[in-house]
Structure 1
Amino acid sequence: MYFLFVCWWCGTDCVVWGRPVVSWWTQNYRVEPFECWWCGSDNTIPDPPWTEAD
């Protein structure tokens, strides 16, 4: 599933892949820190809930 994050440096929307981590009671996603496609700055992931990208 893809999630939408905003770069802390330039404010650009970045779509990041969340890898499914499945357990028997719920489905969660693991999202790694990402590099902004526009400015190249490293971004950390905020705590959930996250906005799903369309």
Structure 2
Amino acid sequence: MHQRRLHRLIDVVGRRLRGEDAAAFHVRDHYVARIFDLVDLARAGLRVAG
């Protein structure tokens, strides 16, 4: 279920960035939370690597 939602999010964002589609996609709180989780994970990885 989560993988399906993630793929839909990526597809819609990609189409919007390319200007191909004005797809109706409502960002929900859990998507925003997961994006911030990924940013936090990347920052932590950079701290450990650097």
- Whether TM-score is above 0.5 comes out as no
Structure with the greater relative contact order (CA < 8 A, sep ≥ 6): 1 or 2?
1
Q: Which has the higher strand share?
A: 1
Larger Rg: 2
TM-score when normalising by structure 2: 0.26
